Amino acid sequence: MSHPYSERDNQEENAVSKEVISNKQAISIMVIFLSGTSSASLFGITAGKDVWMAVVLSVLAALITGIGFAKIHFDYPDKNLFDVLEICFGKIGGKIIGLLFTAYFFQTGIDVLSNITFFIQTVTLPETPRLATIFFIMLLCLWVAKEGTEVLGRWTEFFIPLYITAIFIAVILLIPKMELKNIQPMLYDGIKPVLRGAFYTFSFPFGEIVIFSAIFSSFQSKKFSFKVYIVSLLLGGIMVLIVSLTDLLVLGVDVASELYYPSYSVVSKIDVGNFLQRMEIIAALVMMLGGFVKVSVYLIAISKGLSKVFGYKSYRFLTTPAALLLISTSIFFHKSILEYDGWNNETWPYLAIVFQLFLPAILFFACEIKRMIRVDKKYGLG
């Protein structure tokens, strides 16, 4: 007679293994993830008036890594990042590297959660205790994480038209406020600031696509993985580029660099015939939708990583302790928006690049070697 807990575990494992989402749902998740919270701030502002160039370069770099992740999905269908790590580096080595990736996801989850709560405190609810804001945001994200990637995919598929429409309405209404001189002359300070800005913009948000190799395992067809990554990066990059250009054209680089959330200030300048004013709700909506999706994705990835490292069949029961740990850690890790801003500009990009570029590159080559060995054995060449 089987144990009731074993039966429940097997049922959950079967449910997890059937988390197949459509192309549109996967693209919706990735586009909102990439452009949501990043649209509120200019992370590559070190490029000055050439921020838009930095965004373009970072998207091109992310396309290369995205194609690499898509190739891994193609070669190992129905496997996520943590499964592939064990296949390529062995059970012990895979678990160690998987634990490092989980720690990276956890740290980034803290940053995203802090970013949202600081945004709420700064622009809307300055008197509300930060713990209360974190708790209610995490409560919603926990619900989605427990339901799984399929539910998150359906939710984002429903909301992405509203999300994109809100951004384009704001940009169109801001056209009279734009001044072309704010992005001229191009490359006045040379290429180095652009490359530095591209590095920062790659680390946040485009390099973060590594997380989708952890939460995605099954597509409608394994060849669709290329379409999902490429289309998502192009659409997300276009959204970030449009918002970044709008911020610069309206505010100018000097003003934009002094603000934590320039997009919110930009939208406040909308004024159509003294009738349509105070449209900050658009910026707040974009930020909250993006933050909600992003924290939910990180919570799923953390839970999947922990379940793989510690040998559990299902990740869903780990979402609650992971959420509680995120709440408690984020309160103490970033105590102020000034501290948060300093960490993200001075330390975080150099730590993130290890997990966004170097380790994925090693994994990609390990997967290719493994694939060639498998082909050689198949045809009796090895």
- Structural domain containing residue 305: 22-378
Count of structural domains, the chain: 1
9 is a domain residue: no
Residue 143 maps to a domain: yes
Q: Is residue 8 part of a domain?
A: no
Q: What is the pTM of this model?
A: 0.90
Q: Kindly give the confidence (pLDDT) of every residue in the chain, 382 residues in length, as a single tens digit, with 9 standing for 90 and above.
A: 444 434 444 444 444 445 778 889 999 999 999 988 777 777 778 888 899 899 999 999 999 999 999 999 998 888 999 999 999 999 999 999 999 999 999 999 999 999 898 888 888 778 888 888 899 999 999 999 999 998 999 999 998 998 888 888 888 988 988 999 988 888 888 899 999 999 999 998 899 999 999 999 877 766 788 999 999 999 999 999 999 999 999 998 888 888 888 888 888 888 776 666 667 777 788 888 888 999 999 999 999 999 999 988 889 999 999 999 999 898 888 888 888 888 888 888 999 999 999 999 999 999 988 888 765 555 454 5
Identify the sign of the CA torsion 234, 236, 237, 238. Answer: positive
- DSSP character for 128? S
Calpha distance 313→295 (Å, rounded): 23
Does any domain span residue 149?
yes
* 13 within some domain: no
Indicate which CATH number applies to the domain containing 110.
Answer: 1.20.1740.10
Give Cβ neighbours of residue 45 (< 8 Å, ≥ 6 apart).
51, 197, 253, 256, 257
| Under 8 Å between Cβ of 211 and 301 | yes
Residue 258 lies in a domain: yes
Has residue 368 been placed in a domain? yes
182 in helix, strand or coil? Answer: helix
Q: How many CB atoms lie within 10 A of CB 127?
A: 5
Residue 175 lies in a domain: yes
